[in-house]
Chains A and B, each alone.
Chain A
Amino acid sequence: GAGVSQSPRYKVAKRGQDVALRCDPISGHVSLFWYQQALGQGPEFLTYFQNEAQLDKSGLPSDRFFAERPEGSVSTLKIQRTQQEDSAVYLCASSLDIYGYTFGSGTRLTVV
């Protein structure tokens, strides 16, 4: 597609529930990033893939967070046993190089 597509746009989860967030990057983009944006804050880095290789996962806040990109295209961010502090917008971005990522519209996760 023409842009980065994320689904679902909105997700409400009960505390303790597992969630999976999907990102379809721009076709041909080698690099894929996940960011977490809390209300009133800037995006914060979670993890980075180059093709199917996860090169940096230092931003993942806990071992409840897991990301994969098994075929070097679509990526899934999974959060196990969700907590209220996980409520945020999760942004995916893809790029060909270090300049000018293209971001998706994000998934707004609300944990109740």
Chain B
Amino acid sequence: DQQVKQNSPSLSVQEGRISILNCDYTNSMFDYFLWYKKYPAEGPTFLISISSIKDKNEDGRFTVFLNKSAKHLSLHIVPSQPGDSAVYFCAAGTSGSRLTFGEGTQLTVNP
């Protein structure tokens, strides 16, 4: 029972263009959502979060959008940079603080 799904295992974009990573969830009890970035041989690094009372959160080049009716969230990176190349994990949780992660999307930004 995969409660958080990232259907694209990989994404390739050109430097300077927009990267859009998608995530779908099934559990309507989730009330906060996070994106993590992971480089090889390192642990995931927190990137940005959003609570269920909002539909958008922005931090510099990173924006997360939440569509609760569709149980869908997305991460937009603009402009994309080669240093953004990494695996991106979507995660969701409830007030109990345990997180459920998606399978990850490998983003490659080409110079």
Contacts and interface: CB of A to CB of B under 8 A. Distances in A.
A41 B103 contact: yes
Interface stretch (A13-21, A67-75, A79-87, A103-111): A103-111
A48 interface: yes
B98 A56 contact: yes
A42 B103 contact: yes
Given A103-B44, A105-B41, A105-B42, A98 B95 contact: yes
Q: How large is the interface on B (under 10, 10 to 19, 20 to 34, 35 or more residues)?
A: 20 to 34
A1 interface: no
A75 to B, nearest CB: 15
Contacts of A88: none
Contacts of B96: 56
Contact of B43 (A31, A42, A59, A104): A104
A31 B96 CA distance: 11
B26 to A, nearest CB: 15
Contact of A44 (B34, B45, B101, B104): B101
Given A56-B96, A98-B93, A98-B95, A43 B101 contact: yes
Contacts of B45: 103
A60 B28 CA distance: 24
B65 interface: no
Given A43-B89, A98-B93, A103 B100 contact: no
B105 to A, nearest CB: 10
Given A98-B93, A99-B34, A106 B100 contact: no
A42 B41 contact: no
A103 B34 contact: no
Nearest to A58: B98
Given A42-B104, A43-B89, A100 B99 contact: no
B21 to A, nearest CB: 13
Given A91-B44, A103-B44, A104-B43, A45 B32 contact: no
Nearest to B31: A98
8 contacts: A4-B43, A33-B98, A40-B104, A42-B101, A43-B99, A105-B42, A105-B43, A106-B43
